Structure 1
Amino acid sequence: MRSLEDSVVTAGRRTQAQRRAETREALIEATIQAIVEKGHAGVTVNEVCRRAGVSHGGLFGRFDSLFDLVAAAAAEVGRRQIEGFVAKVAALPDRRDIDAVLAIWLDAARDPINTVWLELTIAARTDAQLRERLSVVRDEYAAAMMADGGLAATRGLPPAQSVALGSIVIFCFDGFAIHTGTFPQPELDALRLEAMTEMVRMYLKAHLVND
């Protein structure tokens, strides 16, 4: 049988593990918020530690470098985006409803947390190490968007065409999020979504093969 002392030691170790996990989560959240508010260039060790209420030693005790922390933040952003998207699509009465699915995609692109992905994507253009890390997150995100009903309406298209269409929509919506975040034109939002929806409908009408 385990002694009371053994139980106390085990409980203490578990509590320490929980504290380490909480600190790690706080650092990742602080990094996400710093990127949203200050951009990728504004993320420094001092800034992240200040926001998280963690010492420099606390940061480097959980991540080997600031780069590794930023990469972990990117992975967390991807996880949240996938989780939110999948849940919203699953709640639709009809997962092949193009209007509804595209509206969800646009909301995901305009979510402030997507700013993190956009900022890091731009930075990765000239940073091979960051580009390599992000490619894993990107592939997981794209696979989830395709597999969990994001393109159910394209069933019948050859796989390559389905992926191409989906990527065009994502690229357009990300660009939309960048420009409207800086130069908002809310009076055009509905018209832009309507135009994209109509273009997708026309493409499907021209290329879709019935089941």
Structure 2
Amino acid sequence: MATATLGLYPLSRRCNGRYLDNERDITPWMARTQEQRRAETRQQLLEAARDMVAERGIAGASVDAVAEAANLTSGALYGQFGRKEGLLVALLDAWKDATASVIAADFEASSSRDDQLASLWRNLADPPADGGDAWVLLEHELWLYACRHPGARSTVAARYEDARRSLADALPGAAVADDPASEEGLASLLIALVIGLEMQRRLDPDAISDELAVAGLRTLVDAFARTRERA
């Protein structure tokens, strides 16, 4: 069958069992294919970065090294993520979102505040997901990277802000009623305490038990609520 052409693209080609006979038909077919290729490229880069950062740390995972490990060019990485910290943030966002969803579901299903706080501690300090321990280390590395590279600070700060808001949304009744600022403030303190306890436990597991961590979180919640009620 002869095909007419417009520029470089045939105006009649077979796709999914039918012929595409005009430019309007061809455009979505091409767009879907390009979108699929872009998604595959993104996944290749994320997988290469995950393995390399876990092995070498952020400093040892250069743009060129990640691109080479993914059998792609550095231009492909910049095209997908803009710069190195964009890749690192994307690498951690999937884990962060999955963890936030688990915590929110646990909060909704829990019948007691201690169960909620235990879920918060367990999922952030000792995540059950495959490679969870490595993800927590990557979060620490991303924080250090932002401290050392001012250009990355706003991006990482936005991630912390998002984490605070997500936790605050899951805290109905934990802070003073009808006070969103109170809930977000409490979320900030809870995240800070969890991070500090997790860092100590990583170096000395016997120093920070699950019971101690939950008791500390409970004390913080109760003290914060009393302070806000007196204000």
Asked if these proteins are the same fold (TM beyond 0.5), I'd say: yes
Distance verdict in 2 for CA 1:94–1:15, change over 3 Å: closer
Higher strand residue share = 2
Q: Which has the higher contact order (CA 8 A, sep 6+)?
A: 1
Output aligned runs, 1:49-198, within 5 Å: 49-64=67-82, 68-92=83-107, 94=109, 97-110=112-125, 111-112=132-133, 113-147=135-169, 149-150=170-171, 152-156=173-177, 158-181=179-202, 183-186=203-206, 188-198=208-218
The worse-fitting range, judged by mean Cα deviation, of 71-80 and 166-175 is 71-80
Tell me the residue number matched to 1:21. 39
CA-based RMSD:
3.2
Is there any run of 5+ residues in structure 2 with no aligned partner, and where? 1-10, 13-18, 126-131
CA contact (8 A) 2:114 2:218 kept: no
Higher helix residue share = 1
Once the two structures are superposed, what CA deviation does each residue of 1:30-83 show, in whole Å capped at 9, x if it has no partner?
33443333322122124312443433343244344xxx2422431452453234
Give the number of the structure whose alpha-carbon radius of gyration is greater.
2
The answer to whether the aligner puts 1:40 opposite 2:61 as a matched pair is no
Distance verdict in 2 for CA 1:34–1:127, change over 3 Å: same
Aligned positions, number: 203
CA–CA separation in structure 2 for the residues paired with 1:93 and 1:44: 41
The percentage of counterpart residues that share the same residue type is: 21
CA contact (8 A) 1:75 1:137 kept: no
Is there any run of 5+ residues in structure 1 with no aligned partner, and where? none
Give the TM-score normalised by structure 2. Answer: 0.70
CA contact (8 A) 1:156 1:208 kept: no
CA–CA separation in structure 2 for the residues paired with 1:38 and 1:157: 46
CA–CA separation in structure 1 for the residues paired with 2:56 and 2:142: 12
Counterpart AA for 1:178: M
